[in-house]
Amino acid sequence: MRHHDIVDHAPAGQPFGLDWRRAADGVVSPLVLARFDSAAFAAGRFAEAGLACPAQIAGSVRKRQAEYFHGRLCARQALGALAAAGGLSAGRGVGEVGVGAQREPLWPPGVVGSISHSKTLAAAVVADAARCGGIGLDIEEWADHAAAEAMPGLVVSARELAYLRGFEREMTRERLLTLVFSAKESFYKGAFGAVGRFFDFNAIELARLDLDAGSLRFALAETLSPQFQLGQNVTVECRVLGAAHVASLFVW
């Protein structure tokens, strides 16, 4: 699985791009990331960067402010990168990335995208909605033993767990479970716009894991929407980000 070691050495607070999915037609922008330290964050950064700070964010704790700020900073840079590459239809992709009632990003007209963060990393990826149905991005810190022990039954089925045991010589059980958790999170985020409702992790089942390619193929275990039917296959890409993180991306 491809590693992005630059993540550990990038300057804090300065977004940087990583090529993730090379589409010749420029449908998907590079993944844009930023390292940050919540303890060092100051609310004045919003005004300095020219980013709007909604009332619910202004009244939240510093950690939430830092997450929101750096996520929107990455989103703005991702939108700019896509526009510069000619990946947006004329007149599209201009505007602020707001926040919805469920804390979901509200993208400018004609744009689909996704934002994710951990305790120290934020990231965003975007695409032209005329050429992409949806994107889901998820960043996770590698789960420790205690967190991984809670995943069987909640995140993976007994059948999925048995399948993952065949890879434990190549990767620890904790990391394998983190991969699947992150991949299912990115699918949920990418499909939610079409599905329009909450659905569980068991809506998709792991069918094939390719660690060398960094891909996971899932089969739909139920019909979620006209776009996502029972038995349909979907693929999620995964990348290791530095020493502590993994990221997953679902695009359809």
Model-level pTM? 0.90
pLDDT at 177: 98
In the chain, what percentage of residues exceed pLDDT 90? 66
CA distance 2 to 117: 20
**If we measure between CA atoms, which residue out of 33, 28, 31, 43 comes closest to residue 10?**
33
SS (H, E, C) the chain: CCEEHHHHHCCECCCEEECCCCCCCCCECCEEEEECCHHHCCCCHHHHHCCCCCHHHHCCCHHHHHHHHHHHHHHHHHHHHHHHCCCCCCCCCCCCCEECCCCCEECCCCEEEEEEECCCEEEEEEEECCCCCCEEEEEEECCCHHHHHCCECCCECHHHHHHHHHHCCCCCHHHHHHHHHHHHHHHHHHHHHHHCCCCCHHHEEEEEEECCCCEEEEEECCCCECCECCCCEEEEEEEEECCCEEEEEEEC
- Average pLDDT, stretch 118-147? 93
pLDDT of the residue at 88: 63
Token couple for 146: 């205690």
Are residues 204 and 234 in contact, defined by beta-carbon separation less than 8 angstroms?
yes
Q: What is the mean pLDDT of the chain?
A: 89
Average pLDDT over residues 66-92: 81
Strands 135-141, 204-210: parallel, antiparallel or unpaired by DSSP? unpaired
Model confidence pLDDT, tens digit, residues 34-53: 999 999 999 999 999 999 99
Give residue for tokens 């329009």.
Answer: 196
Ranking 8-12, 144-148, 213-217 by mean pLDDT, the lowest is: 8-12
What pLDDT band is residue 66 in, cutting at 50, 70 and 90?
very high
Residue 79 φ then ψ, to 5°: -65, -40
Among the listed residues 219, 224, 221, the one whose alpha carbon sits nearest the alpha carbon of residue 209: 219
Enter the tokens of residue 121. Answer: 């990393």
Phi, psi (rounded to 5 degrees) for 201: -60, -30
Radius of gyration over every alpha carbon of the chain, rounded to an integer in angstroms? 18
Kindly state the percentage of the chain with pLDDT values over 70.
Answer: 90
Q: Strand 3-4 vs strand 233-241: parallel, antiparallel, or unpaired?
A: parallel
Dihedral over alpha carbons 131, 79, 238, 150 (to 10 degrees) = -110
Which tokens sit at 215?
Answer: 């891909």
d(CA 237, CA 244) in angstroms, rounded, equals: 18
The pLDDT of residue 104: 79
pLDDT: which is higher, 130 or 46: 46
